[in-house]
Amino acid sequence: MTMTEVATPQPGIKRFIGIDWNFGALKTAGSRYWSFVALLAIITGMGILAWAVVLTTGGNAMAQRDNFTWGFWFADYMFYVGLAAGGLVVYASVHLFGAHQFAPLARLAVLMAGVLTMAALLGDLTDLVRIWRIFWFVVTPNPVAIFVYTGSAAGFYMVLCFVDLWVLITGKGGEKLAFRMTLIALPVAIYLHTTTAGVLALNKSRELWNSAVMVPIFLTSATASGVALLLIVAYIFQRLGILKFKSSMFRSLSTLLATVIIIDLFMLLVEIATVYWPSAAKAGHTMRFSEFLTGSYAFMFVPVLVLGFIAFGLLARRKTRHIPAVQITASALYVVAIFLKRYSLMSMGFAIGPLGQHQAPYFPSLVELLIALGLLSLGMLLMTLAAKVLPLEVPEDQHGEGPEPAHAGALPEPAVGSGVAL
């Protein structure tokens, strides 16, 4: 594992594990960049402090209690895992479905997927007070417990994303290997979502979760929110001058987003109809769901439907779909809607407990909130650093169809500091 000075006229670029890391760009970064990094670092530091509180004080510092067994970290886990998959679906569609208009997004999408999955896993780990006991996962795993499968899937998926990113950047193995990685990555992403949904759905004890439609809803929510976030982040990176995309790509992304949003909303409506239809309604079920439509939890679930339909409405008109403001608004609305959906989904397991007792809505404690914010800012910090240091711009000759030459040479661009692919 060596770091070399690359024999090019570019100062500050070091090659490491085959990637040209542009540390010179960090040196030339302005004060605004560094104050943003400092801000994120402070929030991350507070998150680490909050985690230290959990480790020293125990679970007492969290707002979760017997009646609300899983809390904010679980909503975040589902949310981040979902966002991660969306990016990967976009990237996979490049190779699997020939959607080459998304090719410029490939590296950014995979990087985001890896960082988000890492944040999700860390959120899970920070919830355990005696975290060092997780070695039992490998020593005596329970083959019937779905938790084992989702945990291992998330870990494997994170590693896969980073390996995939390395393959994309270094160009090792060329188009063939990239294609094969897609063939592995997409099924793993679907497997990850199935198992995450299974953690909820495969519980006969929690009526609102125990539904087969949970798995496809997870998949569509994940894809929709992931694509929406990817769109927003791509716009941000373009605005900051790090990457450059064609507007047709964004339009294509918005079409994909609109399609997935409406499928997601449709399945949610099907679920609601099944709960309330007279010949299918069960008292315990309708009582629990009504907490979320008209009861004390309505404030978190009703916006899911409202924002979702507004987002779809914004994107539905073909004539206005190309306007960046429309795209960004719709994407932002939908990301928020999916976050609220994850939060209400987590609450659905506990709003009325297994012994029929009503619980007040749960709000995270200061410690939980800071851990979640810390993880979010850690992810953003990694993306911010990667924006300068990693070569995220996909060279032109990797956009089109057909097999790629094994050693593609791209001209280094001083402003963005992308590296030379081997």
Partner 1 sequence: MSPDKLSEERPEGATAPDGTTFSRRHFLQSIGVCAGVVAAGVIPAVLTAPSASAEDATATTALAPAAPGAEGDQLAAIIKEDAPANYPGHPVYYADPAGKQKWAMVIDVKACVGCRKCVYACVEENNIGRSSGFTFIQVLEMEPGKIELESSVLDYAEAGRPDKWYMPVQCMHCAKPPCVYGCPVQATWKEPDGIVVIDYNKCIGCRNCMITCPYGARHFNWVVPEVPEAEVNPKVPVKEKAWTVEKCTFCVQRTRNGQTTACVEACPVGARKFGDLNDPNSDVSILIKTRRAWRLKEEYSTEPMIWYVG
Partner 2 sequence: MAASTSRFAARPQQDGLRRYFAVLAIVVLALLALTPAASAFAGQASSGQLFFYPCTSCHPVVMVPGATPGSEKPSKPLPNGMQGHKIVLEAHDKLGEEACLACHDDPTRNPGKLKLVDGTLLDITGDISLLCYQCHEAKYKEFRAGTHGKHQESCTSAGCHDPHTPNYIYAGPVKPFLGVGFQFKGVGQQRVAFKPLMQPPLAPPTINPKWFLIAVAIGTALVFALLVGLVAPVVAERLKR
CB 358 to partner 2: min, Å? 14
Backbone angles phi, psi at 22, to 5 degrees: -95, 75
Q: Does 134 bind partner 1 (CB under 8 A)?
A: yes
Residue pair 150/137 in contact (Cβ under 8 Å)? The answer is no
Residues 6+ apart with CB under 8 A from 207: 282, 284, 285, 288
Q: Does 67 bind partner 2 (CB under 8 A)?
A: yes
- Which of 126, 331, 365, 418 contacts partner 2 by CB under 8 A? 365
Which of partner 1, partner 2, none sits in contact with 199, Cβ below 5 to 8 A by type? partner 1
Q: Which is nearer to partner 2, 40 or 253 (CB)?
A: 40
CB 251 to partner 2: min, Å? 28
Q: Which stretch binds partner 2 (CB under 8 A): 20-28, 215-223, 278-286, 363-371?
A: 363-371
Which of partner 2, partner 1, none sits in contact with 336, Cβ below 5 to 8 A by type? none
CB 267 to partner 1: min, Å? 23
Q: Which is nearer to partner 1, 127 or 264 (CB)?
A: 127
d(CA 336, CA 308): 9
Q: Does 70 bind partner 1 (CB under 8 A)?
A: yes
Which parts of 27-56 interact with partner 2 (CB under 8 A)?
32, 35-36, 38-39, 42-43, 45-46, 49-50, 52-53, 56
Q: Which stretch binds partner 1 (CB under 8 A): 82-90, 236-244, 323-331, 345-353?
A: 345-353
Q: What does the angle CA 20 – CA 5 – CA 24 come to, to the nearest 5 degrees?
A: 60
Backbone angles phi, psi at 65, to 5 degrees: -140, -175
Give the closest residue to 232 by CA, choosing from 303, 306, 336: 336
Residues touching partner 1, count (CB under 8 A): 51
Q: Which stretch binds partner 2 (CB under 8 A): 21-29, 63-71, 104-112, 200-208?
A: 63-71
Q: Does 66 bind partner 2 (CB under 8 A)?
A: yes
Residues touching partner 2, count (CB under 8 A): 26
Residue pair 123/75 in contact (Cβ under 8 Å)? The answer is no
Q: Residue with structure tokens 């995270």?
A: 364
Which of partner 1, partner 2, none sits in contact with 129, Cβ below 5 to 8 A by type? partner 1
Strand order in the sheet with 19-22: 4-5, 13-16, 19-22
- Which of 98, 357, 402, 403 contacts partner 1 by CB under 8 A? 357
Q: Does 60 bind partner 2 (CB under 8 A)?
A: yes
Q: Does 57 bind partner 2 (CB under 8 A)?
A: yes
Give the closest residue to 78 by CA, choosing from 203, 200, 261, 256: 200
Q: Which is nearer to partner 1, 207 or 393 (CB)?
A: 207
CB 368 to partner 1: min, Å? 13
Which of partner 2, partner 1, none sits in contact with 45, Cβ below 5 to 8 A by type? partner 2
Residues found near partner 1 in the complex (CB under 8 A): 1-2, 4, 17-18, 55-56, 58-60, 62, 64-66, 69-70, 127-134, 136-137, 139-142, 144-148, 151, 199, 203-206, 283-284, 287, 349, 352-357
Contacting residues toward partner 2, per CB under 8 A: 32, 35-36, 38-39, 42-43, 45-46, 49-50, 52-53, 56-57, 60-63, 65-67, 365-367, 370
